[in-house]
Each structure stands twice: as C-alpha cells, then as structure tokens.
Amino acid sequence: MKKIAERFINYVKINTQSVEDSPSFPSNPGEITLSELLKNELQQMGFEAEVDEFGYLYCSIKGNATHVPPVGFIAHLDTAPSVSGKNVKPRIIKEYNGEDIVLNKERNIVLKVNEFPCIKKYKGDDIITTDGTTLLGADDKAGIAEIMEMADFVSKHPDFKHGTIKIAFTPDEEIGKGMDKFNIEKFGAKYAFTVDGSEIGGLETENFNAATAFLKIKGKNIHPGMAKGKMKNAIKIAMEMLSMMPCNEAPEYTSKYEGFFHPYELNGNTSEVYTKILIRDHDKTKFENKKALIREAASYLNGKYGKNTITVDVKDTYYNMKQILDSYPEILKIAKEAIKNAGIEPKINPIRGGTDGARLSFMGIPTPNLFTGGHNEHSIFEYIPISSMEKSVEVILNIIKGFANFNDYAE
C-alpha cells in the first residue's frame, strides 16, 4: 500500500468543493474531473468503469467465487462547502513528534495538541495535514483513495477470493444530494458500505434524522429618524426567532445522541432576512418535535408582528439508518470481524451527521459506514495518519473475504 498517500494527495489537489445553491448537478465541475480520473485509473487496472452525465462513477469487478452476494463500496467526490477546497496544499509530517504542528507560520495557524488531543495517539506516525488555508479533503477523498487501493490490490492478486465487487463515487454528498440521481440498478450491490467515517476503527450503523428549515423574515424599513411605531426590523425579528431555539440544543453543547438546532446561514437587511437552520436528532419523535418547535416559534412571531412576517419551509434530508440496518445483523457481523481481524477494536458510535448510506439504506441497499482514519473534518485543522488509511484498506479487503464466506454469517 505504498501508493495510498500518493493517491490521496493527487485527489485532494482537485477542487471538488460543492456549492449549495448551484443550479447545476454536480454543483462543481471539478467533481466530474475527479470522477473521470478515477474511471481511467480503474480501467487501467482492467475493470469496467463509467461516469454518467451527472458525475456518478460506477465500477464492477467480476467475482471469482460463486454464490456470493455482490457487495459495494461508496465514497463521495465533493468536499464541504463551509471551508475552501481550492488550492489544497497537503503536507506530510514524517514521524510526528507528538507536539503542536505549525500549519502556517506566516498566518500563525497552529494545530495545537491541547485543542485536538486525539492527535497524540499518532506519535511516530506519518500524518498528512493542510497548510492551514484550506480543508484537507480526507472527507471523503481518503475514502476514495482507500477504495481505489483495494481495487488495485484485487487487480494484482487474481487468487484473492471474492464475489462481485461494486464501486460507486457520488457527487454533492456534502449538500445532501449524493443520492438524488443515483442509479441503483447500475450500481447492482445487495449490500454496501460507505467509506466516509472518521477515526480508525469506526463502524457506524445509525445517524441523525436530518432536516433543514428555510426561513424568510419580512420587515418594514423606515428612515430611522421617523421609525417610531412604524419600523419592523427583520434583523431583530430573526434574532428573536433564533433566540427561541433552546440554547443548550446547539452543536457546540451536544454530543453522542443529543440532537441540535444549528443556524448556519444568515443574510439580509432591515427589510428582509433569510436564514437556514439545520435540525438533527437520532430519535424520530424528538426530531419531529424540533421541526414543530420552529413552526410554532414562527407562528408566535407572526401573531406578534403580523401575518406572514416569517415564512418557514422545512425539508427532510435523510433519516436514521438504524431502523433498516437492525434487520441485517449478518452485514454488521462481517464488518465487526473484519475490523478485529485487522488488529483493531471496533468503535460502534452514532454518526453525528449522515452519509449517502443513510439514504441508500432506505432505497433498499443496507449500507453502514466505515472509518477512513481522518480527523477534524470540514476544518483547516483536518489531518489523517497514513497508517489509518492503510488499515482502512485492510478492513475493506477483510469485508470482501467475509462476504466470500457469506453463508457462514447468514442466519
């Protein structure tokens, strides 16, 4: 697996940052650029691969074992819109010494151990970081590199026993559109895994229920010198609306199974304000209650400031895949044993987010999520140990071995 760091670095240099309000699909043409590159690499390995008009890559690797259900591996092409993915300059820290890492001396950007203590686990390892001006893109180009490394291994080891292996790389996952135009028939897997997790050992079988609330607040602008009794300040109404969200139910105050409200965009003026709020909860009842709270708050303020002062549009994005995956204990058993056979203790935690696999599970293909090894996703402090990427490849290959003996697991 000497190539995996090289693969990863090549991929992160291609700008695939998704654009939330883009009218095109995919939202960034760089996603198709990366998809075409990956198609060519897979074809050079001797496999069938194609990129469709929407940028999805589909690849099928013919099996050499019979009576094995086809298993798929998925990663997404785009990076998060919240932090720049342009001109990524990855850097390898050789034999990390366990101390703070100066990412950018000129800008005094430092990855500090006291702020990110998990990095101390990787003392002595080679670690890939950013230069402090962009994200790194391990979410999810590490997953892509790991799947590609698996494919390369299979191509070079014809005696490796496996069933049919399916690969898909999807655009615009970060803006909730990764499954919008996904072709299930073309993919053709019965079971699948997204390789889109974080710390080494992670196996995730449940995720948030997710929705976004889109709010439009209409005010009435009057010259401030003559505004008494007349002005209706949309900015202040928006602030009042946001203050009605429980202050302890925010990302910065929650963990594990605790849900949240997250205002992530606010723009406008006295006359009109637009804001977007993420709504998240693992529990379906609490999730529905959160959506109701936003509608009720808007209704209250409409009573206070006038009809249609606030309009609310709540759109569901994905649901908790646990309710699907609980019916497929065999796939989870294979995954757990694959991680243990790589010398790693499985870390079974809920995803405080979502993956393409959440939506895909509800579309008929149960799809838990595997670790990539990355840390601090969506951040200029993102990093990934090369050894963790290598272990991810080992786990993927172990899963393929497990499916080659599928009848040993099926109940």
Q: What residues are labeled active site?
A: 78, 173
Q: Residues with Cβ < 8 Å from 219, sequence gap 6 or more?
A: 231, 232, 233, 234, 235, 237, 270, 271, 272, 273, 309
Task: Answer positive or negative: Cα dihedral of 383, 386, 388, 394.
Answer: positive
* SS3 assignment for the chain: CCCHHHHHHHHHCCCCECCCCCCCCCCCCHHHHHHHHHHHHHHHCCCEEEECCCCCEEEEECCCCCCCCCEEEEEECCECCCCCCCCCCCEEECCCCCCCEEEECCCCEEECCCCCHHHHHHCCCCEEECCCCCCCCHHHHHHHHHHHHHHHHHHHCCCCCCCCEEEEEECCHHHCCCCCCCCHHHHCCCEEEEECCCCCCEEECCCCEEEEEEEEEECECCCHHHCCCCCECHHHHHHHHHHCCCCCCCHHHCCCCCCEEEEEEEEECCCEEEEEEEEEECCHHHHHHHHHHHHHHHHHHHHHHCCCCEEEEEEEEECCCHHHHCCCHHHHHHHHHHHHHCCCCCEECCCCCCCHHHHHHHCCCCCCEECCCCECCCCCCCEEEHHHHHHHHHHHHHHHHHHHCHHHCCC
The Cα 411–Cα 409 span in angstroms is 6
Residue 121 falls in which region: left (phi positive, over 0), alpha (psi -120 to 50) or beta = alpha
